Structure 1
Amino acid sequence: MKTLYFSIGMFTMMMLAACSNFLEEKPDIKMVIPKSLNDAELLLNDYSTMNAAYPAVGEWGTDEYYVTAETFDGMMTVDQRNAYIWKDEPYFDVTQWQGPYKTVFNANQALEIISKLGEEVKGEKGQQLSGIAHFFRAFAFQQLAEVFAPPYNAATASSELGIPLRLDPGIDASSERANLKQSYEQIIADYKIAASLLPPKEAIPGRPSAASAYAGLSRAYLYMAEYEKAYQYADSCLRLHAELIDFNNLNTGVELPIGRFNSEVLFAAIANNAGPMSLNNGLVDSNLYASYTANDLRKQLYFRNNDYPKDSYSFKGNYDQSLATLFVGLTTNEIYLIKAECAVRIGKVKEGLAALNALLKNRFDKNSFTAVTQTDAYILLSSILQERQKELLFRGRRWSDLKRLNPDPRFQKTIQRNIRGLTYSLAPDSRKYAFRLPEPAVLIGKIPQNLR
């Protein structure tokens, strides 16, 4: 097996040897150098790069799903199998790392173009494009940090490894990993700039808005356990864009019932490959499926009953209407849940109940919905966290949620897998929650691997 890894690694390194830095391939010297606002806009409008290349590898290790032994042996790559059972082996799926950094490269290139245009950038278009670029960089960094960096703890964030922060399009400078505190300071700074420059809403699918930036800030502060700020930014987001889909109006009989670019989408983004979590591979955890009551419309809209294995279900509630990708973007239903959770955590129980019920009344049969009235803070918080898992499954949120909740003894969880009689476990305090960097990034980029 070590020989196989070595061979794969050498092949990957040779393929990337022309790059002086692994984080981004060197552009073709024959390409026209971009220098206008229109050029910057074209870079930022590249949907396959800017919206569709985010990592899924963290989600492969979550408790939302399982795979059969046949799928594990026959349909999954070595890297996917290792991620699924948290096997601490070198991995070589460079796309999980390279995709977000290509987004960062395009954003940095657009910002460099804009910075050289003088008065032209002070107009509406220049300001908006700058906001879009800052948003994309923040979102890409955030996706990387949630997967490849350890859980955020304010007391240790200055000493924990974060991610490389590339802030210009230069490709010759060496990469260094910032600490975790610096990584999130950069994410937040970029989102705040984006929020100040972007319009309140955006009519073009795939482009962010001020509401999107507020949502990103809310997500970041939630992960950092800064609940007051997470609550405030969730509220700011919903003041601009609060639409929810009434699930009573959706067709439960179609294969993918939730529309793409629907009214809940604040920013559309997908992982580059769902892998074992695709509709035809991943099976929903049976306990999670059983937690939906009969009058919960998500039970019909989110799940497909499979003929094999018997009594198994697959997830069909994809917000990108896709069989083979994971939607990892920002949506209003997530923001309602952030607002609800953080409101309860900071003592605003009434506001938390209102946010939770606003969401749930659009998820249950309208003829049998009963509003939540629980006012005990701990019981209500537990209910909100359960609803968060039920609402946002297969959405790129569970790995991050496990990481941020595990330090709290009330909510920590040990995950187990069973494959052909063998049991694998992931402890709540495991260093494996900071996923391994791909070996080519470590060897060619000369950046440190995560601690084990």
Structure 2
Amino acid sequence: MKIRYIILLSAVIFSVASCKKSFLDEKSDKSLLVPTTLSDFQSMMDNIITMNSTPGLNVISADEFYTTDNGWKSWVTPMERNSYLWLSNIYEGSTTPDWDVPYQQVFYANIVLDGLEAIKPDANTQNNYNQIKGSALFYRAFAFYNLAQLFAAPYDQRNATQQPGIPIRLNSDVNIKSVRGTVQQTYDQVISDLSTAETLLNAQVTYKSRPGKAAVDALLARVYLTMGNYTQAAVNATTAIKSNNKLIDYNTLTPGASRPFPNILPNGNDEVLYYATINAYSYSYEALTYIDTDLYNLYETNDLRKTVFFRLNGTGYNFRGSYAYFFSGLATDELYLTRAECYARLNNLSGALADLNTLLSNRYVTGTLPFTTTNINAALTKILLERRKELISRGTRWTDLRRLNKEPRFATTLSRNLDGNTYTLLPNGTRYLFPIPDDEISGSGIVQNPR
């Protein structure tokens, strides 16, 4: 069965987890239909509409896109318009898929993990059992990590054990009250889930919407980079690159094609390790949403991304997507940039330049001279610049702003001009922390974030 057609059991989960008060603490009748077999569990996790989605308000709030006055007014929901301006009251009483969908993923994963405890695999089913368990742990970890980028404070080792993180749901029993863990507990759980998943998953996957070992290491590299653990991030990035070091040579692409890149699903596009896309919001379909002008101007004439990523539309340029429309999964280009940054921060200049130029040789017109410098700080600055140019709309920019704002030399003040007004987001401000939806606060009683 083609993976994109597998949406089995989604109706079951929606009946189990429909929102009446609090998504996390909804009391439901799980007797409607309870998955019990390995096939049931695999089908549940193959619901790519839910399991392979990531938050999008962080993309709206970052500095990759801008819109016009008319474009902003045409966005469908208040939460989109308010997130763009970093207003205090984002939701205006509504719910957000950026909270609900990741916790649906956690709920699915916990149903699978709880259900697997009743199954005793034999020699014929052990590998299948391991893949399902490892996948559930990966999905749960990815959901927790993505939630932490919006709803928990940026990781800081100095106060991570005191700062509130997110609710860490580890079983499917909805009668257990939700409480917020600390930031440290949140990241510890993500790492624990991924470390176990890596021991279970195979190196090769049938569909790229399912995780394998390389996806686990790629996510661990992202997590450790977010935490500022550059040594471990480099280790995991290296392991993932050893599994798949392939990069697409953009010289081989046709910039004018409607879809310049090879399809990811079911198992295409050699650069992609794991498929995911951002939750659909108006900005991603709105004709009046443009790539930030300053960002577009960073691309040199011989940078092939300038024509592959963007399309002229009136007075601005639309981002037409990269490996999928608003791809937010894991890929080798991010790994090379992650390891390059780690090497630079660890004073390994030759390693940092080697990784950076490996990527850039596949992004610039053939024959373009490699980037060279004898200054480690200049190398780091260039790597961070290329990270911004390469990973557009993957959700990583918001996380990068949060972590880099802690370094004065890289701190960024964001601003918007709309309807004659100027809106500003200062580095390290509380507006970098999204509020937990109001219905969640009233339903579960967990502590709200400052805004």
TM-score normalised to structure 1 length: 0.91
1:250-261 matches, cutoff 5 A = 250-261=253-264
Q: CA deviation digits over 1:324-361, x for unaligned, max 9? A: xx321111101110010001111211111111111111
Deviation at 1:29, TM superposition (A): 4.8
Q: Which residue of 2 aligns with 1:429?
A: 428
Contact 2:208 2:273 in 1 (8 A): no
Identity of aligned residues (%): 37
Contact 2:121 2:129 in 1 (8 A): no
Deviation at 1:74, TM superposition (A): 2.4
**Paired letter, 2:61:** G
May I ask how many residue pairs the two structures share in their alignment?
428
| Runs of 5+ unmatched residues, structure 1 | 1-14
**Paired letter, 1:62:** A
Q: Which residue of 1 aligns with 2:24?
A: 23
Root-mean-square deviation (CA, aligned residues, Å) is 1.7
Q: CA deviation digits over 1:120-140, x for unaligned, max 9? A: 497111111111111000001
Match of 2:104 among 86, 102, 106: 102
Contact 1:227 1:345 in 2 (8 A): yes
Deviation at 1:25, TM superposition (A): 5.5
| Runs of 5+ unmatched residues, structure 2 | 1-16
Q: Whole-Å Cα distance in 1 between the matches of residues 51 and 389 of structure 2?
A: 28
Match of 2:322 among 318, 332, 339: 318
**Paired letter, 2:151:** F
Deviation at 1:404, TM superposition (A): 0.5
Q: Which residue of 2 aligns with 1:342?
A: 342
Residues 90 and 83 (structure 1), Cα distance of their counterparts in 2 relative to 1, 3 Å cut: closer
Deviation at 1:168, TM superposition (A): 0.5
Q: Whole-Å Cα distance in 2 between the matches of residues 316 and 76 of structure 1?
A: 20
Q: Which residue of 2 aligns with 1:216?
A: 219
**Paired letter, 1:346:** L
Contact 1:334 1:392 in 2 (8 A): yes
Contact 1:327 1:396 in 2 (8 A): no
TM-score normalised to structure 2 length: 0.91
Contact 1:405 1:411 in 2 (8 A): yes
The SS at the match of 1:203 is coil
Q: Whole-Å Cα distance in 2 between the matches of residues 228 and 183 of structure 1?
A: 20
**Paired letter, 1:287:** D
- The answer as to 2:243 corresponding to 1:240 is yes
Residues 89 and 134 (structure 1), Cα distance of their counterparts in 2 relative to 1, 3 Å cut: same
Match of 2:198 among 195, 198, 207: 195
Deviation at 1:32, TM superposition (A): 2.7
1:32-181 matches, cutoff 5 A = 32-52=33-53, 54-91=54-91, 92-120=94-122, 123-181=126-184
**Paired letter, 1:336:** Y
Residues 30 and 123 (structure 1), Cα distance of their counterparts in 2 relative to 1, 3 Å cut: closer
**Paired letter, 2:73:** D
Q: CA deviation digits over 1:135-176, x for unaligned, max 9? A: 000001111001111111000111111110000011121110
Contact 1:282 1:314 in 2 (8 A): yes
The SS at the match of 2:278 is coil
The SS at the match of 1:162 is strand
Q: Which residue of 1 aligns with 2:10?
A: none
Contact 2:75 2:81 in 1 (8 A): no
Q: CA deviation digits over 1:4-38, x for unaligned, max 9? A: xxxxxxxxxxx97745x422766555633211211
Deviation at 1:423, TM superposition (A): 0.3
- The answer as to 2:374 corresponding to 1:399 is no
The SS at the match of 2:410 is coil
Q: Whole-Å Cα distance in 1 between the matches of residues 130 and 306 of structure 2?
A: 44
Q: CA deviation digits over 1:218-276, x for unaligned, max 9? A: 00000000000001100000000111111111111123322331211111111221432
Q: Whole-Å Cα distance in 2 between the matches of residues 24 and 276 of structure 1?
A: 31
**Paired letter, 2:36:** K
The SS at the match of 2:443 is helix
Q: Which residue of 2 aligns with 1:374?
A: 373
The SS at the match of 2:424 is strand
